[in-house]
C-alpha cells in the first residue's frame, strides 16, 4: 500500500513551509499556498472524474516543473493520475486517470 509522507506537504511531500488549509472539511499541512490550492483543484477533479463522493488521499509522487504523476484513493479504489497546472496552483490544465483499481485493505496516507 502506498502512503503519503507522515510529515511535510500533503501534496508534494516537501518539508519546508508551514501552510495549513482545509480541503473538503479536513485540515491538511502544505509547504505553500500554491500546493494547497492545487490540492483542492485536484481533489475536486478526482471526485468528478471517478464519481466518488470524497477523496481519502491524493499525493503526487513524481513532480517535474508544472506536471506530475500521482495517485488518489477513495471509496475502496485507487487511481493513478497525471496532472499539470499553473505554478501558482490556481489552474489545473490537464488531468488524466492513467489506471483505476480496487484498493487493498490497509493503512491510508496520513491526514
Q: Per-domain residue ranges for the chain?
A: 19-102
Q: What is the pLDDT of residue 110?
A: 39
Question: What is residue 106's predicted lDDT score, i.e. its pLDDT?
Answer: 54
Mean pLDDT of 25-32: 90
pLDDT of residue 78: 96
Higher-pLDDT residue of 8 and 76 is 76
- Note the pLDDT tens digit of each residue in 41-83: 999 999 999 999 999 999 888 777 788 899 999 999 999 999 9
Q: Is the pLDDT assigned to residue 6 strictly greater than 70?
A: no
**What letter does residue 111 receive in the DSSP assignment?**
-
The better pLDDT of the pair 1, 43 is held by: 43
Residues 64 and 25: their CA atoms lie apart, in Å, by: 29
Show the DSSP H helices in 29-78 as ranges.
Answer: 33-50
CA dist., res. 65 & res. 88, Å (int): 12
pLDDT digits (tens, 9 = 90+) for 92-110: 999 999 999 997 655 544 3
For residues 77 and 7, give the distance between their C-alpha atoms in angstroms, rounded to a whole number.
24
pLDDT at 1 over 70: no
In this structure, are strands 26-30 and 19-23 parallel, antiparallel, or unpaired?
A: antiparallel
Q: Tell me the fold of 19-102.
A: Nuclear Transport Factor 2; Chain: A, (3.10.450)
Contact 72, 58 (CB under 8 A): yes
Amino acid at each position: 500500500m502506498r502512503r503519503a509522507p507522515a510529515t511535510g506537504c500533503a501534496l508534494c511531500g516537501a518539508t519546508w513551509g508551514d501552510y495549513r488549509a482545509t480541503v473538503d472539511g479536513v485540515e491538511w499541512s502544505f509547504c505553500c499556498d500554491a500546493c494547497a490550492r492545487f490540492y483542492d483543484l485536484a481533489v475536486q477533479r478526482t471526485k468528478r472524474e471517478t464519481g466518488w463522493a470524497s477523496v481519502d488521499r491524493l499525493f503526487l509522487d513524481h513532480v517535474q516543473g508544472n506536471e506530475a504523476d500521482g495517485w488518489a484513493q477513495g471509496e475502496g479504489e485507487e487511481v493513478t493520475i497525471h496532472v499539470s497546472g499553473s505554478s501558482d496552483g490556481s489552474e489545473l490544465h490537464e488531468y488524466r486517470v492513467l489506471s483505476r483499481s480496487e484498493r487493498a485493505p490497509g493503512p491510508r496516507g496520513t491526514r
